[in-house]
Structure 1
């Protein structure tokens, strides 16, 4: 897990990669559409996407001659949350409160998050 967390924090270290993640929050984008949002060259954006993919933060799929990128579920939130819970006691308390609320909602037959 330590290597995975290190990869994630390394991926987050560059502002371009953070912006790419923000751009992908609303859904999948083609590599060319991502590159068009930046002044950097296509190969530079491709390297940034490779770092994000290696960290497990984005996935790619091919659609004919296009490569489409999307976020990987909750990977970022879970990894950063796990790290924060080790260094920030408040995170541990908040996580336990969420678990109790989720369990109560599940036991009561309510939709989770209601």
Structure 2
């Protein structure tokens, strides 16, 4: 597991930080708005925000005298999808064409490989791209 992934899971381990992420999923908030939603001291909220920001789960932008925070959805999605792949919990990739033994009356749609072969130079072998389940998030 990479250090970045470890930081994300550390950040997600604390209930107040998960709650902050829930609030930021709805909309960006200032530090004061976040603090007003919790019954804890502002320095404690600030520490939680720093951990979330270090993990790359939130971003901050200073606008005038206020600091605005927003959820970085892509970081959360990438780490969780990568973890699910690591533990084998991802569903299999959907098929692009019916299986050969499928007796449906509709003609089979070309697969990615077949489609690439029809558009490529006949003397050149088509480039195979990895399926999403074969790609590494890290």
Match of 1:43 in 2: 43
CA RMSD, Structure 1 to Structure 2 (Å): 2.1
TM-score by length of 2: 0.66
Matches within 5 A, 1:1-114: 2-88=2-88, 90-93=89-92, 96-97=93-94
Greater RCO (CA < 8 Å, at least 6 residues apart): 1
Aligned length, in residue pairs: 99
Unpaired segments ≥5 residues, structure 1:
108-114
TM-score by length of 1: 0.79
Structure number, greater radius of gyration? 2
**Helix, strand or coil at the partner of 1:91:** coil
Moved over 2 A (4+): none
Unpaired segments ≥5 residues, structure 2:
97-110, 116-138
Query: Offset of 1:92 from its aligned partner?
Result: 5.0
